[in-house]
């Protein structure tokens, strides 16, 4: 739920709710957002909603990706949305590299 849909809380009437704000924009930073931030905080306070901010850039670090691969330990690793897919072969024994227009048989 974004800022301009906060009024929907009136209809939802949340009880003991948690709101996790996870966006890549820096909405809660800077003076230019002060007015909207106060409105947001007032809505959360009015309904007794616990507010949590979790910044999410959408990109994991190399260190985090390696830790994730080791933890999940997939049978097959298919890297997507990367500039260096070959690099994953250093961290996993069964990497299938996608090729445009070709299927990958699992």
The answer to whether 79 and 96 have CB atoms below 8 angstroms apart is: no
The pLDDT, as a whole number, for residue 29 is 63
Residue 58 — pLDDT band, cuts 50, 70, 90?
Answer: low
The pLDDT, as a whole number, for residue 59 is 74
pTM tops 0.85? no
pLDDT at 24 over 80: no
Q: How many CB atoms lie within 10 A of CB 79?
A: 18
DSSP state, residue 83: S
Give how far Cα 46 sits from Cα of 2, 38, 90, Å.
Answer: 17, 12, 52
d(CA 29, CA 27): 6
Give how far Cα 9 sits from Cα of 5, 6, 35, 50, Å.
Answer: 8, 6, 19, 14
pLDDT at 28 over 70: no
d(CA 41, CA 36): 9
pLDDT at 71 over 70: yes
d(CA 26, CA 92): 35
8-17, 53-62, 79-88: segment of lowest average pLDDT: 53-62
Mean pLDDT of 26-55: 80
Residue 100, classed as helix, strand or coil, is: coil
């Amino acid at each position: 739920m974004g800022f301009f849909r906060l009024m929907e809380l009136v209809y939802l009437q949340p009880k003991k709710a948690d709101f996790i704000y996870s966006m890549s924009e820096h909405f809660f930073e800077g003076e230019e957002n002060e007015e909207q931030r106060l409105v947001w905080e007032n809505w959360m306070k009015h309904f007794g909603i616990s507010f949590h901010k979790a910044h999410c850039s959408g990109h994991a670090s190399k260190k985090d990706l390696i830790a994730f691969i080791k933890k999940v330990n997939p049978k097959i690793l298919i890297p997507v949305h990367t500039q260096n897919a070959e690099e994953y072969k250093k961290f996993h024994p069964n990497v299938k590299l996608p090729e445009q227009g070709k299927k990958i048989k699992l």
